[in-house]
Amino acid sequence: MAPSRDINDPNAFVFYRYHPSLAAAVLFTILFALMTALHFCQMVRKRAWFLAPFVVGGLFESVGYIGRILSSSNQWDKISYIIQSLLLLLAPALFAASIYMILGRIIRLADGERFSLIRSSRLTKLFVSGDVLCFFLQATGGGIQATAGKHPDSDKKFAKIAGKLGECVIVGGLGCQILFFGFFVIVAVVFHLRGRRHLASLGPSISWRKHLYTLYGTSLMILIRSVFRIVEYVQGNNGYLLRHEVFLYIFDATLMILVMIAMNIFHPG
């Protein structure tokens, strides 16, 4: 469906119900590009290859905001809309994949298998597999929504159905992500509480504390962002959140750049 140019029509399919901010898009493109470059250098220098998904997630964020830069000059352009919509939706799932691996590494380094609900080897496989499932659900939903943008105005019925189906699949993927992340946080907290005496006895060479607290903080920010995205999609194309760009930058862009900064400062490599 070709996008309507009447952004105030509640029944029309509209890429943006506001004029995308060029300044905000440029700012976050620069921030994400800088953080991604720094993460890449840290990953290579420390040979922390388990952070490769995190670096790719940063690349997704950078290119996604480039898409919003392009949209600021032509908010009716389908390609730039799809680029920013898909990449900004999927990037946090890639961040999550690396965060899941960090807990397994902490458990092994601290010799704390007996305190964990799940063996570290199984823990990584379980949560990364779940993350892949969530990633593909969200990608599929985004793809279905993209097909709605390929149909002429005369086929509004198909476009409406495709758009709604895409929203439902995306919400399912985000809900799946929240469930896995919630369980992951429970596993981390249980390990922390069960093994607190053992962990406290470890020498300074194993800096588990800063990495575990960084894991808590980054997990919380990704959870908040996922809840925001669910509410956004449930409200639909004419929802309050999609009519006000500021919420995207507060509950997605800012939180995700803070995740990257936290991982830069307290690098788990």
- State the pLDDT at residue 2: 46
Checking 190-197 for CB contacts under 8 A at 24+ apart, the result is: 190/115, 190/116, 190/117, 191/103, 191/107, 191/112, 191/115, 191/116, 191/117, 194/115, 194/116, 195/110, 195/112, 195/114, 195/115
Q: DSSP label at 4?
A: P
- State the pLDDT at residue 39: 97
Q: 237 in helix, strand or coil? A: coil
Write down how long the chain is: 269
148 vs 112: CA distance, rounded Å: 50
Q: Which of 52, 64, 63, 129 is nearest to 98 (CA)?
A: 52
- State the pLDDT at residue 188: 92
67 vs 14: CA distance, rounded Å: 16
- State the pLDDT at residue 6: 52
- State the pLDDT at residue 238: 77
Question: Between 1.20.1070, 1.10.10, 1.10.3470, 3.30.70, what CATH number should domain 22-265 receive?
Answer: 1.20.1070
With a threshold of 0.85, does the pTM exceed it?
yes
Other Cβ atoms within 10 Å of 212 Cβ, number:
19
* 3-state SS track over 175-188: HHHHHHHHHHHHHH
Per-residue pLDDT for the chain (269 aa), expressed as one digit of tens each?
Answer: 444 455 555 556 677 888 899 999 999 999 999 999 999 999 999 999 999 999 999 999 999 999 999 999 988 888 998 899 999 999 999 999 999 999 988 888 888 788 888 888 788 889 889 989 998 998 888 888 777 655 545 456 666 677 778 888 999 999 999 999 899 999 999 988 888 787 777 766 667 788 889 999 999 999 999 999 999 988 877 788 888 999 999 999 999 999 999 999 999 87
Amino acid at 245: E
Domain residue spans in the chain? 22-265
For residue 216, with 0-12 CB atoms within 10 Å meaning exposed, 13-18 middle and 19 or more buried, which class applies? middle
- State the pLDDT at residue 204: 65
Token duo for residue 195: 């093994």
Token duo for residue 31: 């921030």
Q: Which of 90, 95, 65 is nearest to 80 (CA)?
A: 65
- State the pLDDT at residue 157: 66
60 vs 110: CA distance, rounded Å: 33
